[in-house]
Amino acid sequence: MSKTAIIVDDSKLSRMHVRAMVLRHKPDWSVVEAANGDELFQRLGETTVDVAIIDYNMPGDNGVEAAGKLRELHPDIHIAIITANAQDAVVSGIRALGAAFMPKPLDEEQVSRFLASTALPRRRAPQA
Amino acid sequence: MTGAALGMPPEAALDDLERDALAELGNIGLGKASTALGRMVGELVVVSVPSVDVLPLDEVAPSLEAALSGPLVGVSESLGGIFDGTALFLFPEADSLPLVRAVLPPDVPAEDAALLEEEALAELGNVVLNSALALVANQLGGGIDTGLPVVRRGTAGAILAACRGTGGTVGGEDLPLLHIDLRATAQTIGGRVVLVLDAGSMGRLKASLGGFIGRSRAVGV
């Protein structure tokens, strides 16, 4: 089924890179882009989004903060957070949101698995 | 061990064991960073085993200028958490083009090229610094907050001075100078990673290192 993915990253280069990866694996998907957390929520007012791929290191809200707000508004969106910052606290913050952690540089196989997983209903985050 | 480290005055220099522990952490952190960088730039660059030096502040710029020729590119991120300071990835400007080319998509529109070149350098630095720092933070059992990457060009001295200008005052502490070599097939691209600590952070670093040394010993016995 065709879905819409949003890529949230302050780097245009990174957005191009992720967009190309998504479309290589899911050529029938639509991809929209946002440069930060504020733009993410603007886009959500305009388009229905099924999948969000969010960079961690951004001006304004970081990726985990933006994903947390997104999760509250849209509990069923599949979220992946991409970062080279694999600190325990960052990774556990990502996992607590029920989001996927994808380390930078992105591994195409891992992105492919994440995209494939979005065909299933979202797994709920474990309750604390 | 931890108690002894915590009890030292904050401005004290690192002792031999702490220096050794920091070098070890730097080594494994840079190993991780090298792998990440190698994957970003594909087959173009092979990365050597990193080495780590801890230097007094006034020796850092001369050491960098001796090792890296010509104008340099520096990507820095400010640090908070278990220590305050700046992390910096430096390499010769002449070597930046093959790195950027390897990272940029082949079909970049000409009007975007200049912007994307800066972003490619920022992203390269971001991945190198965060890969290394995340590993160091996890080993030390604390958090390191990293700021957004800033790209600067100039001499080692000028880039270091600009970083320090944004990160508060820097005292006369020893500075870890982490060293990484990148080798391309036809040429050697040398790069250096530098961790600059703000005044007052040495005590916190020593306390974290003391904890790390204590845990390493407990595991080793």
pLDDT in tens, A96-105: 999 999 999 8
Q: Which residues of B touch A23 (CB under 8 A)?
A: none
Q: Is residue A82 assigned to a domain?
A: yes
* Coil vs helix vs strand at B159: helix
Q: Which domain holds residue B40?
A: 2-220
pLDDT of residue B168: 46
Task: Tell me the count of A-B CB pairs closer than 8 A.
Answer: 59
pLDDT of residue B173: 55
Look at A105 and B127 and tell me if their CB atoms are within 8 Å: yes
Grade residue B114 by pLDDT with cuts at 50, 70 and 90. Answer: confident
Residues B105 and A19 sit within 8 Å (Cβ to Cβ)? no
Give the DSSP per-residue string, A35-86. Answer: SSHHHHHHHHHHS--SEEEEESS-SSS-HHHHHHHHHHH-TT-EEEEEES--
Asked if B113 reaches chain A (Cβ–Cβ under 8 Å), the answer is no
Return phi, psi of residue B83, to 5°. Answer: -150, 155
Range of weakest confidence among A101-110, B107-116, B182-191, B199-208:
B182-191
Asked if A125 reaches chain B (Cβ–Cβ under 8 Å), the answer is no
pLDDT of residue A44: 95
Mean pLDDT of A105-109: 91
Look at A86 and B120 and tell me if their CB atoms are within 8 Å: no
pLDDT exceeds 90 at position B94 = no
pLDDT of residue B187: 52
Q: Which domain holds residue A102?
A: 4-117
Q: Is residue A29 assigned to a domain?
A: yes
Asked if B81 reaches chain A (Cβ–Cβ under 8 Å), the answer is no
> What CA–CA distance (Å, rounded) separates B72 from B63?
13
pLDDT of residue A15: 92
Look at A11 and B146 and tell me if their CB atoms are within 8 Å: no
pLDDT of residue A54: 98
ipTM of the complex: 0.77
Q: How many domains does chain A have?
A: 1
Q: What is the CATH number of the domain that holds A37?
A: 3.40.50.2300
Q: Is residue A13 assigned to a domain?
A: yes
Q: CB-CB: which of B130, B135, B149 is closest to A83?
A: B130
pLDDT of residue A80: 98
Q: How many domains does chain B have?
A: 1
> What CA–CA distance (Å, rounded) separates B31 from B50?
7
Q: Is residue A124 assigned to a domain?
A: no
pLDDT of residue B182: 59
Q: Is residue A50 assigned to a domain?
A: yes
Look at A85 and B116 and tell me if their CB atoms are within 8 Å: no
Question: Percent of chain A, pLDDT > 90?
Answer: 82
Asked if B120 reaches chain A (Cβ–Cβ under 8 Å), the answer is yes
> What CA–CA distance (Å, rounded) separates B130 from B123?
10
Q: CB-CB: which of A13, A58, A90 is closest to B123?
A: A13
Q: Where are the beta strands (DSSP E) in chain B?
A: 45-47, 51-56, 72-81, 85-92, 144-146, 150-154, 174-184, 188-197
Q: CB-CB: which of A13, A17, A87 is closest to B137?
A: A87
Q: What is the pLDDT of residues B167-182, one digit of tens each?
A: 444 455 556 666 666 5
Range of weakest confidence among B82-96, B100-114, B136-150:
B100-114
Asked if A109 reaches chain B (Cβ–Cβ under 8 Å), the answer is no
Q: Is residue A122 assigned to a domain?
A: no
pLDDT exceeds 60 at position A3 = yes
Look at B134 and A86 and tell me if their CB atoms are within 8 Å: yes
pTM of structure: 0.82
pLDDT exceeds 90 at position A113 = yes
**Average pLDDT in chain B:** 77
pLDDT exceeds 50 at position B4 = no
pLDDT exceeds 80 at position B102 = no
pLDDT of residue B203: 83
Grade residue A110 by pLDDT with cuts at 50, 70 and 90. Answer: very high
Grade residue B184 by pLDDT with cuts at 50, 70 and 90. Answer: low
Grade residue B9 by pLDDT with cuts at 50, 70 and 90. Answer: very low
Q: What is the CATH number of the domain that holds B216?
A: 3.40.1550.10
pLDDT of residue B98: 76
Which of B28, B34, B101, B138 is best to mutate for the A interface (most A CBs within 10 A)? B138
Asked if B105 reaches chain A (Cβ–Cβ under 8 Å), the answer is yes
pLDDT of residue A126: 58
Higher pLDDT: B104 or B211? It is B211
pLDDT exceeds 50 at position A19 = yes
pLDDT of residue B194: 86
Asked if B131 reaches chain A (Cβ–Cβ under 8 Å), the answer is yes
Look at B138 and A87 and tell me if their CB atoms are within 8 Å: yes
pLDDT of residue B165: 62
